[in-house]
A and B are shown apart, each in its own frame.
Chain A
Amino acid sequence: DTGVSQDPRHKITKRGQNVTFRCDPISEHNRLYWYRQTLGQGPEFLTYFQNEAQLEKSRLLSDRFSAERPKGSFSTLEIQRTEQGDSAMYLCASSRDYYEQYFGPGTRLTVT
């Protein structure tokens, strides 16, 4: 069990550029969640997958955001036409059904 990994750990991008983040969950976990955390706040839910199916998306996930989990393994979160308000820590977590979620180290995005 190597834990949840995320790549990259840090990303600095200019406004208007597209960025993509990757999350590799714990191998036997069928559920994968994405959260966003801004400074001084608790994480907020963005979306989740059960296996390869995306089952829920938060209203925080505007049409500039898209997430995929091909073959029910790793997941990617893409942000198109980034805005300064997208600057945040993006956290990925995985779980086995309704059991506790294990978090990755996060990807810190800075939009300049």
Chain B
Amino acid sequence: AQSVTQLGSHVSVSEGALVLLRCNYSSSVPPYLFWYVQYPNQGLQLLLKYTTGATLVKGINGFEAEFKKSETSFHLTKPSAHMSDAAEYFCAVSDYNQGGKLIFGQGTELSVKP
């Protein structure tokens, strides 16, 4: 069975500081991995995805993530936080062998201080 663990339910950074949101996964097959962002009372927006190929993937709004198979990790980073980055972030793994449903982590709430 696949699973996702997000370390830290809440992360707080200052504006302009590095953002690092941690995600570890468990999968019996090569994983497809995703990061989504959710603003209050809204649906989820795809930030970036890893399927195959280059292990460093770039997404929207300056975010990127690196797939590290040896560490079973897919951490999300952004060099400089903006106030508009404050939101809930979800890491997910796709069960592509069984219909493609997403298995999500618990989420990390990012706060950005001025």
Which residues of chain A have C-beta atoms less than 8 A from B9's C-beta?
Answer: 40
For A93-109 the 0/1 string (1 means CB < 8 A from B) is 10101101111111010
**In the docked arrangement, what's the CA distance between A29 and B4, Å?**
26
Interface status of B28 (Cβ within 8 A of chain A): no
**CB-CB nearest in chain A for B105:** A42
**CB-CB nearest in chain B for A3:** B43
Which residues of chain B have C-beta atoms less than 8 A from A50's C-beta?
Answer: 99
Which residues of chain A have C-beta atoms less than 8 A from B103's C-beta?
Answer: 45
Q: Majority SS of interface residues in chain B?
A: strand
Known A42-B90, A43-B90: A91·B43 in contact at CB below 8 Å = yes
Which residues of chain B have C-beta atoms less than 8 A from A93's C-beta?
Answer: 44, 102
Which residues of chain A have C-beta atoms less than 8 A from B101's C-beta?
Answer: 33, 45, 48, 56
Min CB distance A36 to B, Å, is 11
Q: How many chain-B residues does the 8 Å CB contact rule pick out?
A: 26
For A71-112 the 0/1 string (1 means CB < 8 A from B) is 000000000000000000001010101101111111010000
6 interchain pairs (CB within 8 A)?
Answer: A41-B107, A42-B4, A42-B90, A43-B102, A45-B103, A103-B43
Please list the 4 inter-chain residue pairs (A to B) with the smallest Cβ-Cβ separation, ordered nearest first.
Answer: A42-B104, A103-B43, A103-B44, A45-B101
List residues of chain B with CB under 8 Å of any chain A CB: 4, 9, 32, 34, 36, 41-46, 49, 90, 92, 94, 96, 98-107
List residues of chain A with CB under 8 Å of any chain B CB: 4, 6, 31, 33, 35, 40-45, 48, 50, 55-56, 91, 93, 95, 97-98, 100-106, 108
Q: In the complex, given contacts A31-B99, A56-B98, A93-B44, what are 14 additional A-B residue pairs having Cβ atoms less than 8 angstroms apart?
A: A6-B43, A31-B100, A42-B4, A42-B90, A43-B102, A48-B100, A50-B99, A56-B99, A91-B43, A101-B102, A102-B46, A103-B43, A103-B44, A103-B45
